């Protein structure tokens, strides 16, 4: 036990530094983008088809693209997506994702966005239809109806599944190690390879992950309490 | 005055509105009556374009003329809706907003009223209808009757030309219903332009100036309210007796 404590004292600062400079920024940036993708995708997927033939066709194409995006990222493992984007695309002379950070953020945000889109879509459709009609009857534009009436109510419902997505994403950033980003899991691997304290190093990094996800869970609790102030 | 001409609304094989033509005078209360499924709510919702008829025309005063044979633009739809305030059958207050914010959301976001002005308008309405103490409550903290009264004030806060009411008391018990009807009677006596779908014949007789009677999507009576309730027409008499009037 004392060995583990000594190891923790020695290596924890390095691991926390990796968390601060890699794991946390990767999580925050990717999740922010994921929520933007998710809201746009969810709204597109629940849009009704207009009567006008041309706009109807355009809407149908956009809805199909949104459905394809969700299907694509939910039907393949994230690690495969990372390999395709970081190693595969540059091989096909698409160099936009040759930077490991760009590749990681692209895959993490698109992948998490696909799952979050379904959570947000479910939350939006659970808001009673009369809320939308009441807002429309005041003369609100479709954007205003979503911005001011539907999304604030859907937010409360979507917090638990979105918190799950955030916690999963935080843990999944460890996959960035396979595309050369030295985040905290990759760092612990490197340290374990040097000092041969394999079990202790991996337990240490697991504890750091657990601490971070616990903080997120506490945040979720308070956020749920705040957004539930208007329900019984 | 609102004029509708030959409105047609079809759901699959069923004609909800079958070439309906009518006028709705200003500063009067028009009651739309008829059996369930006769198209009353569809007609009401077609006026503020929550339903889009496939054919016909809608004219509101001299400003708005809509031909449903032509595709409508979003600005056209929004401008038309802003001329109406609507109260729904279900409790439709915005659940995430306090009573005061329910009253100010539309004026601020749609009419671009200043927050100060919108709050003043809301407070004046709440005071006028003795609901000042409810201002900071959320809808879940109100009774059904209070919720519908606030819904009426929310519609009035937009200063609409016409107030549309879709069976506003049908989900309430008699005691709560009386609270809501009292407000509506006050509004009728102040010559607010109202169009109301209701199953409450006593109330309709008391406040309505005009009655439209719908059956199977067609208007079979349009005229003065007092004449409707005395009408010798056997179908109307049957309807009134079925409504225990």
Summarize the confidence of residues A142-166 as an average pLDDT. Answer: 95
Over residues A101-113, the pLDDT tens digits come to: 999 999 999 999 9
Summarize the confidence of residues B173-201 as an average pLDDT. Answer: 89
Domain of residue B168: give its range: 2-92+161-242
CATH number of the domain to which B178 belongs: 3.40.50.300
Q: Determine, yes or no, domain membership for A65.
A: yes
Q: Specify the range with the lowest mean pLDDT, choosing from A69-73, A102-106, B145-149, B171-175.
A: B171-175
Q: Specify the range with the lowest mean pLDDT, choosing from A30-44, B98-112, B174-188.
A: B174-188
* Number of domains, chain B: 2
* Number of domains, chain A: 1
Interface test with A, best of B73, B96, B170 (most A CBs within 10 A): B96
Query: Quick one: pLDDT at residue B236?
Result: 87
Residue B112 has pLDDT above 80, yes or no: yes
Closest residue in A to B80 (Cα) is A139
Instruction: Please check whether residues B117 and B183 belong to one and the same domain.
Output: no
Q: Determine, yes or no, domain membership for A232.
A: no
Q: Taking a contact as any Cβ pair under 8 Å apart, which residues of chain B between 61 and 80 contact chain A?
A: 71, 74, 78-79
Q: Determine, yes or no, domain membership for A74.
A: yes
Quick check: A93 contacting B, CB < 8 Å? Answer: no
Closest residue in A to B70 (Cα) is A52
Instruction: Please check whether residues B121 and B187 belong to one and the same domain.
Output: no
Three-state DSSP class for residue A55: helix
CB contact under 8 A, A144 and B95: no
On average, the pLDDT of chain A sits at 94
Q: Determine, yes or no, domain membership for B148.
A: no
B120: Cβ contacts below 8 Å, ≥ 6 apart: none
Residue B160 has pLDDT above 90, yes or no: yes
HEC string of chain B equals CEEEEEEEEEECCEEEEEEEEEEECCCCEEEEECCCCCCHHHHHHHHCCCCCCCEEEEEECCCEEEECCCCCCHHHHHHHHCCEEEECCCCCCCCCCCHHHHHHHHHHHCCCCCHHHHHHHHHHHHHHCCCHHHCCCCHHHCCHHHHHHHHHHHHHHCCCCEEEEECCCCCCCHHHHHHHHHHHHHHHHCCCCEEEECCCHHHHHHHCCEEEEEECCEEEEEEEHHHHHHCCCHHHHHHHHHCCC
| Among B141, B176, B205, residue at a domain's last position | B141
Summarize the confidence of residues B160-170 as an average pLDDT. Answer: 92
What is the pLDDT confidence band of residue B231, given thresholds at 50, 70 and 90? confident
On average, the pLDDT of chain B sits at 92
Residue A70 has pLDDT above 80, yes or no: yes
Query: Quick one: pLDDT at residue B178?
Result: 85
Instruction: Please check whether residues B134 and B170 belong to one and the same domain.
Output: no
Residue A98 has pLDDT above 80, yes or no: yes
Query: Quick one: pLDDT at residue B64?
Result: 87
Query: Quick one: pLDDT at residue A46?
Result: 93
Query: Quick one: pLDDT at residue B169?
Result: 86
Query: Quick one: pLDDT at residue B13?
Result: 82
Domain of residue A93: give its range: 2-227
Residue A52 has pLDDT above 90, yes or no: no
A163: Cβ contacts below 8 Å, ≥ 6 apart: A216, A217, A220, A223
CB contact under 8 A, A142 and B74: yes
**What percent of chain A stands above pLDDT 90?**
87
Residue A51 has pLDDT above 80, yes or no: no
* Residues of chain A contacting residue B48, judged by C-beta atoms under 8 Å apart: 137
Query: Quick one: pLDDT at residue B90?
Result: 85
CB contact under 8 A, A138 and B158: yes
Instruction: Please check whether residues B116 and B222 belong to one and the same domain.
Output: no
Instruction: Please check whether residues B60 and B134 belong to one and the same domain.
Output: no
Summarize the confidence of residues A209-216 as an average pLDDT. Answer: 97
What is the pLDDT confidence band of residue B120, given thresholds at 50, 70 and 90? very high
Query: Quick one: pLDDT at residue A86?
Result: 96
Summarize the confidence of residues B180-195 as an average pLDDT. Answer: 90
CATH number of the domain to which A32 belongs: 1.10.3720.10
CB contact under 8 A, B96 and A230: yes
| Cα A156 from Cα A226, distance rounded (Å) | 9
Q: Specify the range with the lowest mean pLDDT, choosing from A207-211, B37-41, B181-185, B193-197.
A: B181-185
Q: Determine, yes or no, domain membership for A218.
A: yes
> What is the value of pTM for the model shown?
0.84
| Among B78, B106, B141, residue at a domain's last position | B141
Instruction: Please check whether residues B104 and B169 belong to one and the same domain.
Output: no
Over residues B6-31, the pLDDT tens digits come to: 999 998 888 899 999 999 999 999 99
| Among B107, B141, B175, residue at a domain's last position | B141
Q: Determine, yes or no, domain membership for A140.
A: yes
Instruction: Please check whether residues B53 and B75 belong to one and the same domain.
Output: yes
What is the pLDDT confidence band of residue A120, given thresholds at 50, 70 and 90? very high
Q: Which residue has the higher pLDDT, B171 or B238?
A: B238
Tell me what ipTM this predicted complex has. 0.92
Query: Quick one: pLDDT at residue B235?
Result: 87
CA dist B36 → A121, B6, B108, B237 (Å): 34, 21, 37, 16
Q: Determine, yes or no, domain membership for A106.
A: yes
Summarize the confidence of residues B96-124 as an average pLDDT. Answer: 96
Q: Determine, yes or no, domain membership for B154.
A: no
Query: Quick one: pLDDT at residue B166?
Result: 95
What is the pLDDT confidence band of residue B154, given thresholds at 50, 70 and 90? very high
């Amino acid at each position: 036990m004392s060995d583990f404590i000594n190891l923790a004292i020695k290596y924890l600062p390095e691991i926390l530094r990796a968390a601060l400079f890699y794991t946390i920024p990767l999580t925050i940036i990717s999740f922010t983008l994921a929520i933007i993708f998710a809201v746009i995708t969810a709204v597109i997927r629940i849009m009704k088809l207009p009567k006008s033939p041309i706009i109807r066709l355009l809407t149908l194409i956009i809805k199909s693209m949104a459905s394809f995006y969700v299907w694509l990222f939910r039907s393949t493992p994230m690690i495969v997506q990372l390999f395709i984007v970081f190693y595969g695309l540059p091989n096909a002379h698409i160099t936009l994702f040759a930077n490991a950070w760009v590749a990681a953020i692209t895959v993490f945000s698109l992948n998490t966005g696909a799952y979050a889109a379904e959570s947000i879509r479910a939350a939006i459709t659970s808001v009673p239809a009369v809320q939308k009609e009441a807002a429309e009857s005041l003369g609100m534009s479709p954007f205003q109806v979503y911005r001011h009436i539907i999304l604030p109510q859907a937010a409360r419902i979507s917090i638990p599944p979105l918190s799950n997505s955030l916690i999963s994403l935080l843990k999944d950033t460890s996959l960035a190690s396979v595309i050369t980003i030295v985040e905290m899991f990759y760092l612990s691997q490197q340290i374990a390879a040097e000092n041969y304290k394999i079990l202790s190093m991996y337990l240490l990094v697991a504890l750091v992950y657990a601490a971070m996800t616990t903080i997120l869970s506490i945040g979720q609790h308070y956020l749920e309490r705040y957004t539930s102030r208007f329900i019984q | 005055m609102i004029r509708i001409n030959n409105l047609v609304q079809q759901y699959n094989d069923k004609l909800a509105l079958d070439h309906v033509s009518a006028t709705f005078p200003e500063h009067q209360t028009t009651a739309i009556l008829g059996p369930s499924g006769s198209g009353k709510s569809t007609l009401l919702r077609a006026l503020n374009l929550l339903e889009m008829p496939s054919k016909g025309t809608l004219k509101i005063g001299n400003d708005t003329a809509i031909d449903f044979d032509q595709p409508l633009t979003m600005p056209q739809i929004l401008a038309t809706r802003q001329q109406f305030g609507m109260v729904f059958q279900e409790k439709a207050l915005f659940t995430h907003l306090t009573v005061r914010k329910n009253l100010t959301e539309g004026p601020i976001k749609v009419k671009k009223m200043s927050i100060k002005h919108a709050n003043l308008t809301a407070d004046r309405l709440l005071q006028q209808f003795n609901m000042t103490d409810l201002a900071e409550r959320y809808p879940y903290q109100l009774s059904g009757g209070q919720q519908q009264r606030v819904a009426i004030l929310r519609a009035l806060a937009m200063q609409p030309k016409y107030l549309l009411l879709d069976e506003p008391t049908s989900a309430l018990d008699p005691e709560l219903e009386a609270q809501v009807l009292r407000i509506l009677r006050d509004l009728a006596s102040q010559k607010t332009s109202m169009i109301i779908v209701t199953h409450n014949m006593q109330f309709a007789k008391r406040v309505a100036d005009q009655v439209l009677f719908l059956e199977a999507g067609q208007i079979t009576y349009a005229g003065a309210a007092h004449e409707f309730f005395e009408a010798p027409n056997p179908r109307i008499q049957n309807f009134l007796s079925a409504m225990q009037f």
